[in-house]
């Protein structure tokens, strides 16, 4: 699976969470969650647009081979993009996480397909016929490269949010 991306400063976040609970500042906690979520939203949006625009090339049909329309009306890339989610927790294991929700993928798209898409190749049976297989290629590591591009910005943004909250409660 494309690795879920997490921003964790567990020591800082846990200590801050204890102080927030002791101080009883519910509005500061919700504000912190909202700001951390906002910091992660550009990453989610970029991942969604990257997967929607991902070019998937086929080796092509051989001479004399038949082709035809896709048996499914649901686009693969759009389905994957819709399953990308953000979760923010300030409780036991605090942090922000951008991940692919398996429950939101259609049943005929297993997680293995998404994993191999991130590896740069997609091998599948031709129209469900398990005796004939096709391979398609795409840009490898699209998930990882997108996450790497956003990591410094998100890390600094979350650190700034934590500093702001710490200043408000101390």
Label residue 22 by pLDDT band (50, 70, 90).
confident
Please tell me which residue, 83 or 93, carries the higher pLDDT value.
Answer: 83
Burial category of 41 from C-beta neighbours within 10 Å (exposed 0-12, middle 13-18, buried 19 and up): middle
pLDDT of residue 125: 81
Please tell me which residue, 29 or 48, carries the higher pLDDT value.
Answer: 48
129 phi and psi, to 5 degrees? Answer: -80, 110
Burial category of 152 from C-beta neighbours within 10 Å (exposed 0-12, middle 13-18, buried 19 and up): exposed
165 with 33: CB under 8 angstroms? no
- pLDDT at 47 > cutoff 80: yes
pLDDT of residue 30: 83
pLDDT of residue 1: 47
pLDDT of residue 31: 84
Is the Cα dihedral 152, 45, 6, 139 positive or negative? Answer: negative
Please tell me which residue, 166 or 160, carries the higher pLDDT value.
Answer: 160
pLDDT of residue 94: 66
């Amino acid at each position: 699976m494309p690795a879920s991306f997490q921003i964790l400063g567990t020591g800082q976040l846990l200590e801050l969470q204890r102080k927030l609970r002791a101080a009883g500042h519910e509005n500061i906690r919700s504000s912190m969650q909202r700001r951390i979520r906002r910091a992660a939203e550009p990453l989610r949006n970029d991942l969604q647009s990257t997967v929607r625009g991902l070019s998937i090339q086929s080796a092509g049909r051989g001479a004399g081979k038949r082709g035809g329309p896709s048996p499914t009306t649901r686009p693969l890339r759009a389905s994957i993009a819709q399953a990308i989610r953000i979760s923010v927790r300030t409780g036991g294991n605090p942090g922000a996480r951008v991940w692919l929700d398996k429950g939101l993928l259609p049943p005929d798209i297993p997680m293995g397909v998404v994993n191999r898409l991130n590896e740069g190749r997609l091998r599948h049976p031709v129209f469900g016929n398990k005796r004939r297989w096709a391979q398609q290629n795409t840009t490898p590591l699209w998930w990882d490269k997108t996450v790497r591009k956003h990591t410094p910005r998100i890390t600094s943004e979350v650190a700034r949010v934590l500093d702001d909250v710490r200043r408000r409660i101390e």
